């Protein structure tokens, strides 16, 4: 495989290549660090986006973190435990027996917590934890807006919390939720939507407390609410995923896009350019098309290994010119690559394995 | 930690870790036999597009099953490098511009593909090897005489012409005929007229008789589109998933999202559940709505099978294929060129 070596100038990089601008990454991470260092809540970076223990370590060491991370899967948690993390929340359900066994195995090396939304699953977690003589932390997942996993009512949250307290092998820790925003028109609206979702999560937290149980962890909020969460003294940690590398989804947040695909123009035809990056190396789901950085353009065609873009401004391009492609889906982008190249001032500083890539299981 | 998670041979496929990408070997072999039989009745050689499966074991299976194999088509130098141990006739079916990549092409004895004067101008000072010319058979088909003049003036060695269809279209036959009747003698080529694109098996015989080769894309692997275009093939690939949550009375959530099942070319289909309607796939989840009866019949932990919308993009998401025969795991195929983009 072709490797872009340390010291290579951007203009000589073989393309397509996944690039992380380390200065932008540091700036993004420091923005959160400054916000949370002296606050009552801390960042628990969601590593399903980055998939790299190295990048997660940079987030934690910047400050404002509780030292833990989130993952979406057992396999990602395994990567993070191997990477030296000992406080992990799998912000998702783990239901297959095999995977619960692996979760229990991890609990011998790290403080493992997992989301729950079902009594049978909770019972099963307890059964395996007892078998392996470990304790699994459990957080009730609350549905606030996405209508996938997560309980739909505070009553069920209370029921799950009660059962978790009764069972051996599991330790009821609190509640968690994840939400997304599809777009908004004003800052006021962003705050309104963010508060509305967080309030749904807190409603369950309060119901559990009113039923006489302690709630140690409230893990909620994400990139689009990273500032809104600060007004809630009940929130203990924030599951920030996108903010470190960023994508096109949050242009209104105080973070810049650090992760990009460097591409080469391989054809120019009137007002259209073809570049050497397509679906295999950049995600374009749900018609959320990638854009060329700094160029007014429309995606015309997304092939597997190329894409065609119509140029809407007056700039002229030549075959061989390099342009950056930006993604609308940072998660999907990182998952397509085995390595990323870190650059500073347009010079390659190093390349790192994306160890959590392909960890579907 | 054990990673990736692979089960022992003999494991029933429903016991595999999920999400798993599963290949039914018998179905794949049946599909290859269909191709072989069809090609035997025509004078066409086959060139396998490994970009569709990225897997050396599958190329070996293709080459073993179809004796009329001429070579392979790859998309980039990294793929050429991965597959060069299995074929010495490699077309890099894409524009290559950089000096180091063109140098690798020479080392691998492969051939690049060009479709415009601008591209050829860019490489003429750094590459003098043979090349293929690619013509896209689309609505604005153009291969002007000035291109021919340019090729002749620059003394390029033209190894063949690739006509790229998007599926076979009868209405485009005259375009191909016009070209094949006029230009090959001017360009001094008599062979290597190649048809490419997602051409259905039943359409092989409708191609212009001057074609000498066909590039086959997905088969023996199948996806929704491939099965629709080729009703005679056996469904050979599916994604096994697990029900992760039943959060309300009309919905199930699977443990499989876009990171495993790429949806850039459409949603997958749920197998064997009549009422299942996929609402959306997020990064790690599939959200499915179904009727009361189907919802009641499912429990958390149950397995659900999905038929991919586009197998080529999904092969690039997984690290290996679980290969089953009679529903039991017999092998795993590493997806050797996954992530090979350069």
The answer to whether the Cβ–Cβ distance between A302 and B264 falls below 8 Å is yes
pLDDT at B168 > cutoff 90: no
Q: Is residue B183 over pLDDT 80?
A: no
Taking the CA atoms of residue B82, residue B85, residue B91 and residue B96 in that order, the dihedral angle to the nearest 10 degrees is 40
Domain assignment of residue A30, given as a range: 22-244
Cis before residue A16, ω within 30 degrees of 0? yes
CATH number of the domain at A320, please. 2.40.37.20
What stretch of H or E contains B50?
none
pLDDT tens digits, B300-325: 999 999 999 999 999 999 999 999 99
**What values do phi and psi take at A302, rounded to 5?**
-115, 100
Domain boundary among A244, A270, A290: A244
Query: How far is residue B114's CA from residue B96's CA, in Å, rounded to a whole number?
Result: 8
- Residue B28 phi/psi, 5-degree rounding, is -60, -45
3-state SS class at A359 = coil
Give the closest of A78, A81, A267 to B116, CB-based: A267
Model confidence over A313-353: pLDDT tens digits?
888 899 999 999 999 889 899 999 999 999 999 999 999 99
| A319 chain-B contacts, CB cut-off 8 A | 97, 118-119, 121-122
Q: Is B262–A1 a contact, with Cβ atoms under 8 angstroms apart? A: no
A-chain CB neighbours of B116 within 8 Å are: 267, 269
According to DSSP, residue A285 is labeled G
DSSP string, A135-197: -EEEEEEB-SSS-SSSBSSHHHHHHHHHHHHHSSSEEEEEEE--------SSHHHHHHHHHHH
Where does the pLDDT of residue B287 fall: very low under 50, low under 70, confident under 90, or very high at 90 and above?
very high
What is the pLDDT confidence band of residue B155, given thresholds at 50, 70 and 90? confident
Alpha-carbon span B229 to B125, nearest angstrom: 44
Question: pLDDT band at residue A181, thresholds of 50, 70 and 90?
Answer: confident
Three-state SS at A185: coil
Report the 10 Å Cβ neighbour count for B195.
Answer: 25
Residue of B nearest to A81 (CA): B1
Query: Do A14 and A27 fall within a single domain?
Result: no
Q: Give the distance from residue B139's alpha carbon to the nearest chain A alpha carbon, in angstroms.
A: 15
Query: What pLDDT score was predicted for residue B141?
Result: 56
Task: Give the Cβ contact number of residue A233 at 10 Å.
Answer: 10
CA quadruple A320, A323, A328, A333: dihedral, nearest 10 = 60
Interface test with A, best of B1, B75, B133, B258 (most A CBs within 10 A): B1
- Cα(A273)–Cα(A264) distance, rounded to whole angstroms? 10
**Which residues does chain B have within 8 Å of residue A267's beta carbon, measured at their own beta carbons?**
95, 115-116, 118-119
Evaluate if residue B2 carries a pLDDT over 80.
no
The whole-angstrom separation of Cα B130 and Cα B220 is 31
Percent of chain B with pLDDT over 70: 96
Domain ranges of chain B: 13-23+232-334, 29-219
Residues of A with CB below 8 A from B256's CB?
A: 360
- Single residue among A244, A266, A281 that ends a domain in this structure: A244
Residues of chain B contacting A151 with CB distance shorter than 8 Å: 247
The CATH number that domain B13-23+232-334 falls under is: 2.40.37.20
Beta strand residue intervals within B111-227, DSSP E: 111-114, 131-136, 158-164, 193-196, 213-216
The nearest alpha carbon in chain A to B311 belongs to A304
Instruction: State chain B's mean pLDDT as an integer.
Output: 91
**A3, part of any domain:** no
Mean pLDDT, chain A, rounded, equals 94
Give bridge partners of residue A70 from the DSSP assignment: A46, A89
Nearest CA in chain B to A3: B342
Residue B140 has pLDDT above 70, yes or no: no
Q: CB-based contacts of A74: which residues, under 8 Å, 6+ apart?
A: A90, A94, A99, A102, A103, A106, A361
A78: nearest CB among B3, B260, B281: B3
In a 3-state reduction of DSSP, which class is residue B324?
strand
Q: Are residues A102 and A225 in the same domain?
A: yes
Do B94 and A72 make contact, defined as CB atoms within 8 angstroms?
no
Cross-chain Cβ contact B284/A72 below 8 Å: yes
Going by C-beta distance under 8 Å and a sequence separation of 6 or more, which residues neighbour residue A189?
Answer: none
Which of the residue ranges A15-19, A150-154, B64-68, B87-91 would you say has the lowest mean pLDDT? Answer: B64-68
pLDDT of residue A227: 96
Q: Which residues of B touch A247 (CB under 8 A)?
A: none
Asked whether the beta carbons of residue A335 and residue B301 sit closer than 8 angstroms, the reply is no
The minimal CB distance from A332 to the residues B4, B258, B285 is found for B258
Q: Which residues pair with A350 in a beta bridge?
A: A342
Does the distance separating the beta carbons of B284 and A73 come in below 8 Å?
Answer: yes
Among A181, A211, A244, the domain-final residue is A244
Q: What is the mean pLDDT of residues A153-173?
A: 98
Q: Kindly state the DSSP code that residue B7 receives in the 8-state scheme.
A: P
Predicted complex ipTM exceeds 0.90: yes
Domain assignment present for A2 = no
Which phi and psi angles does B240 have, rounded to 5°? -90, 130
Question: How close is the nearest chain A Cα to the Cα of B309, in Å?
Answer: 13
Is residue A159 in a domain?
A: yes
Q: Tell me the three state secondary structure of residue A147.
A: coil
| Subunit contact B78:A2, Cβ cutoff 8 A | yes
Whether the CB-CB separation of B220 and B244 falls below 8 Å is answered with no
Residue A270 burial (CB count, 10 A) = 7
pLDDT for B63 equals: 96
Strands B237-248 and B20-24: antiparallel
Give the confidence band of B117 by pLDDT, cuts at 50, 70, 90.
Answer: confident
Give chain A's radius of gyration (CA, Å).
Answer: 22
Chain A residues near residue B254 by CB distance under 8 angstroms? none
Residues A131 and A154 in one domain: yes
CA distance A195 to A187: 12
Task: Give CA–CA dist B54/A289, Å, rounded.
Answer: 25
A239 and A120 in one domain? Answer: yes
Which residues of chain A lie closer than 8 angstroms to B301, CB-CB? 95-97
Chain B contact probe: residue of A49, A358, A359 with most B CBs at under 10 A: A358
Cα torsion for A179, A183, A184, A190, to the nearest 10°? 30
Phi, then psi, of A247 in degrees rounded to 5:
-140, -165
Report the chain B residue with the minimal C-alpha distance to residue A330.
B283
Q: Are residues A115 and A164 in the same domain?
A: yes
A289-324: b (≥16 Cβ within 10 Å) or e: bbbbeeeebebeebebbbbbbebeeeeebebebbbb
Query: For residue B239, what is the enclosing H or E element?
Result: strand B237-248
pLDDT tens for A77-107 read: 999 999 999 999 999 999 999 999 999 999 9
Instruction: Indicate whether A31 pLDDT > 60.
Output: yes
In angstroms, rounded to a whole number, what is the distance separating the alpha carbons of residues B233 and B221? Answer: 10
Nearest partner of A293 among A259, A318, A268, judged by Cα: A259
Residues on chain B touching A336 (C-beta within 8 angstroms): 316-317, 339
High-pLDDT (> 90) share of chain B, %? 72
User: Using only C-alpha atoms, what is the Rg of chain B?
Assistant: 22
Q: Do B258 and A285 touch (CB under 8 A)?
A: yes
| Residues of chain A positioned with their CB less than 8 A from the CB of B316 | 280, 336
| Closest in A15, A117, A279 to B264, CB measured | A279
Could you tell me the pTM of the whole model?
Answer: 0.95
CB contact under 8 A, A79 and B258: no
Judged by CB atoms closer than 8 Å, whether chains meet at B287 and A93 is answered as no
Tell me which residue in A16, A267, A284 faces B341 most closely, judged by beta carbons.
Answer: A16
Confidence check: pLDDT of A298 > 60? yes
Residue A334 has a pLDDT of 95
Helix, strand, or coil here: B83? helix
Residue A115 belongs to a domain: yes
Pairwise CB contact (< 8 Å): A75 & B5? yes
Yes or no, beta carbons of B319 and A279 under 8 Å apart: no
Instruction: Indicate if the pLDDT at residue A33 is higher than 80.
Output: yes
Q: Do A204 and A348 share a domain, yes or no?
A: no
pLDDT in tens, B64-109: 999 889 999 999 999 999 999 999 999 999 999 999 999 999 999 9
Are residues A14 and A69 located together in one domain of the fold?
A: no
Residues of A in contact with B108 (CB under 8 A): none
Distance (Å, rounded) from C-alpha B175 to C-alpha B193? 14
CA–CA gap between residue A120 and residue A335 (Å, rounded): 32
Same domain, A91 and A236: yes
Which residues lie below 8 Å from residue A335, measured CB to CB, with a gap of 6+?
A: A51, A283, A357, A358, B259, B317
Q: Three-class SS of residue B92?
A: strand
Chain A to chain B Cβ contacts (< 8 Å): 174
Is it the case that residue A360 has pLDDT exceeding 90? no
What pLDDT shows up at residue B142? 62
Shortest CA gap A38–chain B (Å): 33
Q: B-chain residues within 8 Å CB-CB of A147?
A: 247-248, 251, 287
Residue A334: half-sphere exposure toward Cβ, Cα within 13 Å? 26
Beta bridge partners of B119: none
> A360 in a domain, yes or no?
no
Helix (H), strand (E) counts: chain B: 10, 17
Q: How far separated are the first and last CA of chain A, in Å rounded?
A: 26
Domain spanning B29-219, CATH class = alpha beta
User: What burial letters (b/e) apply to B283-306, b meaning 16+ CB within 10 Å?
Assistant: bbbbbbbbeeebbeebebeebbbb
Looking at residue B264, its pLDDT comes to 84
Residues in chain A within 8 Å Cβ distance of B78: 1-2
Pick from B270, B261, B255, B281: nearest CA to A146: B281
Mutate to test the interface with B, among A80, A360, A361 (most CBs of B within 10 A): A360
Q: How many CB atoms lie within 10 A of CB B81?
A: 20
Whether the CB-CB separation of A125 and B300 falls below 8 Å is answered with no
List pLDDT tens digits, range A36-90. Answer: 999 999 999 999 999 999 999 999 999 999 999 999 999 999 999 999 999 999 9
Domain match, A149 and A65 both: yes
CB B241 within 8 A of CB B269: no
DSSP label at residue B268? -
**What's the pLDDT tens digit per position in A235-273?**
999 999 999 999 988 888 999 999 999 999 999 988 999
- pLDDT interval class at B139 (50, 70, 90): low
What is the number of domains present in chain A?
Answer: 2
Q: Is the pLDDT of residue B148 over 80?
A: no
Assess whether pLDDT exceeds 80 at residue B170: no
């Amino acid at each position: 495989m072709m490797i872009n070596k340390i010291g290579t100038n951007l203009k000589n990089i073989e393309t397509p290549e996944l690039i992380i601008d380390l200065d932008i990454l540091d700036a993004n991470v420091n923005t959160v660090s400054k916000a949370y260092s002296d606050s009552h809540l801390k960042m628990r970076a969601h590593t399903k986006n980055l998939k790299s223990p190295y990048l997660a370590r940079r987030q934690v060491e910047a400050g404002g973190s509780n030292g833990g991370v989130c993952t979406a899967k057992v396999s990602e948690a395994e990567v993070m435990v191997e990477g030296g993390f000992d406080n992990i929340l799998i912000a998702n359900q783990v239901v297959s027996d095999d995977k619960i066994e692996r979760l229990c195995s991890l609990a011998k090396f790290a403080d493992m917590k997992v989301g729950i939304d079902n009594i049978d699953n909770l019972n099963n977690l307890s059964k395996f934890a007892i078998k392996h003589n470990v304790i699994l932390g459990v957080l009730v997942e609350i549905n606030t807006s996405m209508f996938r996993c997560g309980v739909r009512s505070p009553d069920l949250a209370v029921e799950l919390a009660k059962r978790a307290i009764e069972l051996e092998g599991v330790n009821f820790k609190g509640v968690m939720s994840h939400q997304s925003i599809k777009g908004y028109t004003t800052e006021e609206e962003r705050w309104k939507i963010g508060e509305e979702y967080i309030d749904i999560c807190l409603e369950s937290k309060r119901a559990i407390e009113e039923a006489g149980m302690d709630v140690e962890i409230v893990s909620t909020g994400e990139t689009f609410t990273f500032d809104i969460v600060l007004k809630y003294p009940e929130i203990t940690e924030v599951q920030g995923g996108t903010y470190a590398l960023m994508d096109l989804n949050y242009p209104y947040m105080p973070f810049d896009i650090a992760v990009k695909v460097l591409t080469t123009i391989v054809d120019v035809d009137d007002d259209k350019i073809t570049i050497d990056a397509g679906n295999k190396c950049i995600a374009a789901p749900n018609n959320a098309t990638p854009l060329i950085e700094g160029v007014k353009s429309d995606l015309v065609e997304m092939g597997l290994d190329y894409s065609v873009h119509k140029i809407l401004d007056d700039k002229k391009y030549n075959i061989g010119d390099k342009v950056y492609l930006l993604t609308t889906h940072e998660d999907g982008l990182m998952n397509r690559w085995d390595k990323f190249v870190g650059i500073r001032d347009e010079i390659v500083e190093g390349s790192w394995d994306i160890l959590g890539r392909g960890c579907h299981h | 930690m054990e990673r990736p998670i692979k089960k022992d041979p003999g494991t029933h496929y429903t016991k595999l870790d999920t999400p798993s990408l599963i290949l039914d070997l018998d179905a794949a072999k049946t599909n290859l036999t269909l191709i072989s039989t069809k090609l035997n009745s025509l004078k066409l050689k086959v060139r396998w597009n490994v970009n569709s499966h990225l897997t050396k074991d599958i190329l070996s299976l293709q080459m073993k099953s179809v004796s009329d194999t001429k070579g392979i088509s790859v998309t980039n130098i990294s793929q050429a490098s991965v597959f060069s141990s299995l074929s010495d006739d490699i077309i890099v079916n894409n524009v290559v511009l950089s000096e180091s990549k063109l140098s690798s092409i020479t080392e691998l004895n492969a051939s690049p593909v060009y479709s415009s004067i601008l591209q050829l101008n860019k490489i003429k000072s750094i590459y003098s090897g043979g090349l293929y010319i690619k013509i896209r058979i689309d609505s604005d088909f153009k291969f002007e005489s000035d291109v021919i003049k340019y090729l002749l003036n620059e003394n390029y060695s033209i190894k063949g012409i690739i006509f790229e269809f998007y599926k076979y279209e009868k209405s485009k036959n005259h375009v191909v005929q016009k070209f094949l009747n006029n230009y090959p003698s001017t360009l001094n080529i008599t062979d290597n007229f190649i048809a490419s694109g997602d051409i259905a098996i039943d359409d092989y015989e409708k191609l212009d008789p001057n074609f000498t080769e066909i590039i086959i894309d997905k088969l023996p692997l199948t996806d929704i589109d491939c099965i629709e275009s080729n009703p005679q093939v056996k469904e050979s690939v599916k994604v096994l998933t697990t029900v992760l949550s039943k959060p309300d009375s009309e919905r199930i959530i699977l443990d499989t999202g876009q990171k495993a099942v790429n949806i850039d070319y459409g949603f997958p289909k749920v197998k064997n559940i009549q009422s299942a309607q996929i609402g959306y796939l997020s990064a790690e989840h599939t959200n499915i709505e179904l009727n009361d009866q189907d919802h009641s019949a499912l429990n958390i932990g149950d397995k659900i099978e999905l038929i991919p919308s586009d197998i080529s993009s999904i092969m690039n998401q997984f690290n290996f294929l679980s290969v089953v025969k009679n529903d039991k795991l017999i092998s795993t195929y590493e997806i050797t060129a996954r992530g090979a983009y350069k």
